[in-house]
Amino acid sequence: MTQTFTLAHFSDLHLSPIVGLSPRYWTAKRALGFFNWQRHRRHVHVPAVAKALMDDALSLNIDHIAITGDLVNFGLPREYEAALAWLQNFGTGDRITVIPGNHDVYSWIGADQGFTRWAAYMGAEAESLVFPFVRRIGPLALIGLNSAILTRPGLASGRLGAAQMEVVGDLLERLGNEGAVRVVLIHHPPLPGMTHPTRALTDAHHFKRVLERSGAELVLYGHNHVTRLDWLAAQDGAIAISGAASASAALAIGHDTLASYGVYTVSKSDRDVRITRAIRGIASDSGDIVELSDDVLIPR
């Protein structure tokens, strides 16, 4: 018997408008970020574009949606609340899984609960949320990581840390032995050299060794705002490392591309696994959402 399951991958929504930027939460990093937002990013990230892509995914009857971070811009309490309302508009935590990005842990917010408002979309209660977390959905095991850390102005780097690294290695090995299709969710590019050092995962070399040793079928990430596919040789077979563009980009600036998202179709039988990736998004200024590419990931 073959199970077929579809997973949509969104990232870097950068939802606006900016709300709640009061003097209480004004920091040097937010001041610099707000300047950059006013200068060009507010023209790039358009909520209507993100909504159109989500509507497109829902029209395809996708089984589950994963969002790999940066739902907000400055990590403000009212931004978190607005993002929660946005998620609830498209489905419950049974249909959507979220992990945080660096903009979701942007700067100091005191005792505010921050992105734990979204805990239901991480399969937990706010007070019991831990990383990594595992969600078993159909034939998939979604492994959610948190690479978001507080950084000084000018930096957008991330770190997993020794504790997450140790636990995720054990989880990947156990889930592999159970026959699950292991899909790792992380915001920052997971391998060394995939982005500028000021934006990189600082312990990527260590994480690369964990993946090589423990294995996975698929790693999904965002942060770079570019669709990308790489391969990592591991002990039990090559791992597809798949990056997503921003799902709200109405303009292509620099290396960033127009908005898109990935549709992963997983077919699992007792004998083997097949995974395909279709990229759907905006092809031109017309704003029409079309299929941009279609690849077979497994078997490679």
pLDDT digits (tens, 9 = 90+) for 104-126: 999 999 899 999 999 999 999 98
pLDDT above 90 for 40: no
Q: Is the peptide bond before 132 cis (omega within 30 degrees of 0)?
A: yes
pLDDT range class, residue 48, cuts 50, 70, 90: very high
Under the banding of pLDDT at 50, 70 and 90, the label for residue 181 is very high
- The gap from C-alpha 29 to its chain's centroid, in whole angstroms, comes to 23
Cα(145)–Cα(113) distance, integer angstroms: 18
CA 145 and chain centroid, separation: 10
Q: Which two tokens stand for residue 91?
A: 């489905």
pLDDT band at 22 (very low <50, low <70, confident <90, very high): confident
Q: Is residue 237 part of a domain?
A: yes
C-alpha–C-alpha distance, residues 98 and 119, integer Å: 8
pLDDT tens profile 51-106: 999 999 999 999 999 999 999 999 999 999 999 999 999 999 999 999 999 999 99
Contacts of 167 (CB under 8 A, 6+ apart): 132
Give CA–CA dist 37/116, Å, rounded. 25
Asked if residue 96 is part of any domain, the answer here is yes
Give the confidence band of 285 by pLDDT, cuts at 50, 70, 90. low
Is the Cβ–Cβ distance between 68 and 244 less than 8 Å?
A: yes
**Residue 163: inside a domain:** yes
How is residue 158 annotated by DSSP?
A: B
Once rounded to an integer, what is the mean pLDDT over residues 166-184?
A: 97
Identify whether 189 is part of a domain: yes
Question: For residue 49, what are its two tokens?
Answer: 């574009």
* Rounded CA separation 32/154 (Å): 8
Residue (of 70, 63, 125) closest to 94 by Cα position: 63
- Measured at the CA of 174, the angle between CA 168 and CA 179, to 5 degrees, comes to 120
Instruction: Assign residue 243 the CATH number of its domain.
Output: 3.60.21.10
Within 62-146, strands assigned E span 64-68, 96-99, 133-137, 140-144
Q: Rounded distance, CA 279 to CA 277, Å? A: 7
High-pLDDT (> 90) share of the chain, %: 86
Supply the pLDDT for residue 253.
82
pTM for the whole thing?
Answer: 0.97
Across the chain, mean pLDDT equals 95
pLDDT at residue 256, as a whole number: 85
Whether the CB-CB separation of 79 and 19 falls below 8 Å is answered with yes
Residue 125 lies in a domain: yes
Q: Which domain holds residue 232?
A: 7-298
The residue written with tokens 């934006």 in the block is 199
In this predicted structure, the answer to whether residue 20 has a pLDDT above a threshold of 90 is no
Kindly write down the DSSP assignment for every residue of 71-135, as one continuous string.
Answer: -SSS--HHHHHHHHHHHHHH--TTTEEEE--GGGG-S--TT--GGGGGGGGGTS-GGG--SSEEE
The answer to the question of residue 2 being in a domain is no
Cα–Cα distance for residue pair 87/81, rounded to 1 Å: 10
Confidence class for position 18, pLDDT limits 50, 70, 90: confident
Look up residue 245 and give its two tokens: 């563009």
Six token digits for residue 175: 């889930």
> What distance in Å separates the CA atoms of residue 147 and residue 231, rounded to the nearest whole number?
21
Tokens of 254: 């620099």
User: What is the C-alpha separation between 268 and 264, in angstroms, rounded?
Assistant: 13
In this predicted structure, what is the pLDDT of residue 284?
A: 79
- The answer to whether residue 1 is domain-embedded is no
**pLDDT given for residue 85 in this prediction:** 97
pLDDT at 269 over 80: yes
Residue 36 lies in a domain: yes
- The tally of domains found in the chain comes to 1
